[in-house]
């Protein structure tokens, strides 16, 4: 059985006319202007496919020619991709010869579903979605997308599995255009050192202590994989649900050794300003005290603004932000936001300071809700239920607020005051819970709790100077 990524329809796409279809690599590149976006249901796949197509563009054409810009429209000329014809065998998924992202020397039999993080394997029974190792299988298209995830989303685990070149999966940020053509152009920047991709050399290893070339870093494999042939009669794919298709049920799947490399600077990763090699990562939202607009949101948006990822001027820039929360070998959550905002040099410091203020106001909600002691200061020691109540509602509020990140980054203090009002309905529920009854004291207490919102108002000094200044503590109500 043959399956070549260049021609087989495996990439899910949404056309500009609103129709869904699957295309091969050649069609995706040469008809990129007719494709609105990659339409994979999992943001990990959308990001992985975009990075793969971008790497192919660099490999076939090199750096972008002068005069190419997103306003030119259209698609990429077919003659740019003659290199694909010359090396067609690099992109076979099956067969005895060369295979895409595979190493014939891999030796560790595993279920094929190890390629897809959201499918439970082994003895992980307690899931809403179930599958059985070596019985349920993946279609060839899902196998291809699982291989594309390896450079970006691999985690460490037993027996000796290691994470990818970026270490524990970081938060990825990639500019988006109005079409696949525009998206690739926005990410196709001149690069001094391209190097070679892993599809031509699956056992590729960067030289120790030297800068990692772009194509090497984009495609470096964290696993050595060899796909076994399809097994059994056609059936439904356990990942995408495609019916009546040939299924692969097992593979060889082992570590490729240590790949994390501080000499690699990923173009789609946000690094901290204190440690350039340290990346911002998605927190485990199932752990106590972790919230969507709490860390790492302030650092993430602040760094995105400071490093110019939103550009400058009046034209909005749209970014796809994808995070994969993990804990060692445990895959916890895949998270995404599409953020569209416009910033200028004069306003760049302001969004970051608003985010920091929002973080401080949110962490101070329990203090604001606590009843005062005899001296007039908040008294929390004897009211642990207050902190528990705030912890219970913050994920809901922060989820709604972070979904409007683009509006917040470009909307100023009015947008942030509106964000603070998202706490209102939840605080009313907390008020009824913490202070039931109809006594005068209970009614006053409920009123106090329901009006305890984050205070995002600018101070008079801030309004005059455009800079944040210290403000006295206090509620918005």
Q: What pLDDT sits at residue 476?
A: 44
Higher pLDDT, 249 or 203: 249
Q: Which two tokens stand for residue 170?
A: 């970081």
What percent of the chain has a predicted confidence (pLDDT) above 70? 83
The partner residues of 317 in beta bridges, in order of sequence, read 341
Query: Does 316 score more than 80 pLDDT?
Result: no
Three-class DSSP labels, 194-237 = CCCCCCCCCCCCCCCCCCCCHHHHHHCCCEEEEECCCCCCCECC
pLDDT at position 475 is 45
* Gap between the terminal Cα atoms of the chain: 69
Tell me the mean pLDDT in the region 452-459: 84
- Does pLDDT of 457 surpass 70? yes
pLDDT score, position 142: 97
Whether residue 354 has pLDDT greater than 90: no
Confidence at residue 297, expressed as pLDDT on a 0 to 100 scale: 61
Average pLDDT over residues 202-220: 90
Reported as a single tens digit per residue, the pLDDT across 78-125 is: 999 999 999 999 999 999 889 999 999 999 999 999 999 988 877 666
pLDDT number for residue 151: 95
Residue 120, pLDDT score: 83
Radius of gyration (C-alpha) of the chain in whole angstroms: 25
Convert the pLDDT of each residue in 421-433 to its tens digit.
999 999 999 999 9
DSSP 53-119: HHHHHHHHH-SPPTT--GGG-S---GGGGHHHHHTGGGGBSSSSS--TT--TT---EEEGGGG-TTS
Ranges 299-303, 311-315, 319-323, 354-358: which has the least confidence? 311-315
The whole-number pLDDT of residue 346 equals 44
pLDDT at 464: 44
Residue 51 to residue 43: CA distance in whole angstroms: 12
Full-model pTM: 0.84
pLDDT average, residue stretch 244-272 = 92
Q: CA 361, CA 367: separation in Å to the nearest integer? A: 10
361-404 pLDDT per residue, tens: 888 888 888 887 654 445 545 678 888 888 888 878 887 887 78
């Amino acid at each position: 059985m043959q399956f070549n990524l260049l021609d087989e329809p495996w990439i899910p796409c949404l056309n500009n006319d609103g129709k869904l279809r699957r295309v091969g690599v050649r069609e995706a590149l040469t008809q990129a202007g007719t494709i609105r976006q990659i339409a994979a249901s999992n943001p990990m796949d959308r990001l992985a496919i975009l990075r793969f197509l971008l790497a192919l563009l660099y490999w076939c054409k090199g750096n972008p020619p002068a005069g190419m810009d997103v306003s030119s429209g259209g698609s990429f000329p077919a003659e740019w991709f003659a290199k694909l014809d010359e090396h067609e065998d690099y992109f076979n998924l099956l067969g005895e010869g060369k295979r895409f992202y595979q190493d014939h020397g891999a030796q560790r039999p595993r279920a094929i579903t190890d390629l897809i993080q959201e499918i439970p394997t082994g003895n992980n029974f307690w899931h809403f979605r179930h599958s059985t190792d070596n019985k349920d299988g993946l279609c060839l298209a899902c196998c291809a997308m699982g291989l594309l995830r390896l450079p970006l989303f691999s985690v460490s685990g037993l027996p000796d599995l290691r994470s990818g070149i970026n270490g524990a999966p970081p938060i990825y940020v990639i500019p988006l255009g109005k079409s696949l053509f525009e998206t690739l152009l926005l990410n196709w920047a001149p690069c001094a050192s391209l190097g070679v991709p892993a599809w031509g050399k699956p056992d590729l290893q960067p030289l120790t202590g030297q800068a990692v070339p772009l194509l090497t870093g984009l495609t470096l494999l964290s696993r050595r994989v060899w796909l076994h042939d399809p097994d059994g009669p056609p059936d439904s794919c356990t990942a995408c649900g495609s019916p009546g298709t040939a299924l692969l049920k097992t593979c060889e799947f082992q570590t490729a050794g240590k790949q994390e490399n501080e000499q690699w600077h990923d173009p789609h990763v946000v690094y901290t300003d204190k440690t350039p090699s340290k990346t911002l990562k998605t927190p485990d939202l199932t752990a106590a005290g972790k919230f969507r607009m709490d860390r790492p949101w302030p650092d993430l948006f602040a760094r995105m603004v400071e490093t110019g990822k939103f550009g400058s001027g009046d034209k909005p820039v749209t970014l796809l932000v994808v995070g994969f929360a993990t804990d060692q070998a445990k895959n916890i959550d895949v998270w995404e936001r599409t953020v569209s905002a416009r910033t200028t040099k004069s306003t760049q410091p302001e969004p970051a300071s608003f985010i920091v203020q929002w973080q401080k106001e949110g962490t101070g909600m329990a203090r604001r809700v606590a009843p005062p002691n005899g001296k007039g200061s908040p008294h929390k020691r004897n009211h642990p239920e207050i902190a528990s109540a705030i912890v219970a509602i913050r994920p809901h509020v922060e989820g709604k607020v972070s979904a409007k990140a683009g509006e917040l980054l470009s909307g100023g203090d009015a947008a942030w005051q509106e964000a603070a009002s998202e706490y209102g309905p939840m605080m009313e529920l907390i008020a009824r819970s913490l202070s039931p009854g109809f006594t005068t004291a209970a009614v006053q207490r409920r009123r106090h709790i329901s009006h305890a919102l984050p205070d995002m108002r600018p101070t008079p000094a801030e309004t005059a100077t455009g800079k944040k200044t210290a403000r006295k503590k206090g509620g918005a109500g």
